[in-house]
Amino acid sequence: MGRVSESTDLAGWKHVYSGKVRDLYERADGSASDTLLVVASDRVSAFDHVLSPGIPGKGELLTTLSLWWFDQLDVPNHLVADHELTASGELTEVIPPRFAGRAMLVKKLEMFPVECVVRGYLTGSGWKEYLASQSVCGIPLPEGLSNGDRLPEPLYTPAYKAPMGEHDENISFEQSIELVGEADATALRDLSLAIYAEASALAEKRGVILADTKFEFGRDAATGLITLADEVLTSDSSRYWDATAYATAETAEGRMASFDKQIVRDWLAANWDQTGTPPELPNSIVEKTAERYRELLTRLTA
């Protein structure tokens, strides 16, 4: 079964933070204080809850995909220079064997409190908002669009990254300027749209639609550069659909045959009223999710 909780005792490292999915460590001896070890677990979250059980192999699949994308993209990223070693698991003195394949050594950045969301297709919360107001994050759209339709052009719809325990909230571009200043807000938007354009074109060549995604950026204190951080273009941070199914399916659901967490979200939405503790995921859902995550990696990178 996928690990839902695991020990954060790690010789040489001090545990500093656990998000819903990843655990962050700093050097225990205070050296290289600009470096973080980010360990992806098999935990899966939906509707802001960590679910049980986890998805076996998920931490490794998502780390592999993230490292692959960082390598494809022509933007400064937070990986320390020897990330190839991280990817191949050769950094064994640094990364303990039990974290092999699902850990990244990264530069600790001053993170911007903005989740940089780009949507190329209308679905999820965007679709709900469209039904209510014919707009997405306040941006007006043409009438007559359906769930899953391609948007006239990709939209940048930032969200405020709320401190731990609070919910992120969608904000306008103007509000993102209030948070980080005009120059940085503009740079975050332009970088996000450029990366989405590059990544979605690449994915499409491999028969996969990148429907939407979320980036996080930080500033590298040493260079001043805005730097791509966190995980990138994974099936946790993105919606990926099968392009063939999209082109041929007769139903809206069939169109959006996903390689991402939507499988879990859909099951949970149908089997839980979102009060109290979420139910255990059935084996079939766990296995299907793991299989689709593996298939995405193969399609994109093979």
Positions in the binding site for ligand ATP (CB under 6 A):
19-22, 24, 36, 78, 106-109, 111, 164, 216, 218, 229-230
Please state, in angstroms and rounded to a whole number, the distance separating the CA atoms of residues 262 and 153.
23
Choose between 108 and 292: whose C-beta lies nearer to ligand ATP: 108
Q: How far is the CB of 192 from ligand ATP (least distance, A)?
A: 15
Q: Is the CB of 41 or the CB of 258 nearer to ligand ATP?
A: 41
Closer residue to ligand ATP (CB): 104 or 209: 104
Question: Minimum distance between the CB of residue 218 and ligand ATP, rounded to whole angstroms?
Answer: 5
Nearer to ligand ATP, 109 or 188 (CB): 109
Min separation Cβ 229 and ligand ATP, Å: 4
Torsion angles phi and psi, residue 155, rounded to 5: -110, 140
For the chain, what is the HEC assignment?
CECCCCCCCECCEEEEEECCCEEEEEECCCCCCCEEEEEECCCCEECCEECCCECCCHHHHHHHHHHHHHHHCCCCECECCCHHHHHHCCCCCCCCHHHCCCEEEEECCEECCEEEEEEEECCHHHHHHHHHHCEECCEECCCCCCCCCEEEEEEECCEECCCCCCCCEECCHHHHHHHHCHHHHHHHHHHHHHHHHHHHHHHHHCCEEEEEEEECEEECCCCCCEEECCCCCCCCCEEEEEHHHHHHCCCHHHHCCECCCHHHHHHHHHHCCCCCCCCCCCHHHHHHHHHHHHHHHHHHHC
Residue whose Cβ sits closest to ligand ATP:
19
Query: Cα separation of 235 and 130, whole Å?
Result: 24
Least spacing, CB of residue 50 vs ligand ATP, in Å: 9
Shortest reach from residue 172's CB to ligand ATP, in Å: 21
CB of 184 to ligand ATP, least distance (A): 16
Q: Phi first, then psi: what are they for 109, rounded to 5°?
A: -110, 165
CA-to-CA dists, residue 179 to 53, 175, 183, angstroms: 37, 6, 11
Measured from the CB atom, the residue of 40 and 136 that comes closer to ligand ATP is 40
CB of 178 to ligand ATP, least distance (A): 20
In this complex, which beta carbon is closest to ligand ATP, that of residue 142 or of residue 165?
165
Q: How far apart are CA 39 and CA 21, in angstroms?
A: 9
- Nearer Cβ to ligand ATP (39/122): 39
Shortest reach from residue 291's CB to ligand ATP, in Å:
23
Of 230 and 242, which has the nearer Cβ to ligand ATP? Answer: 230
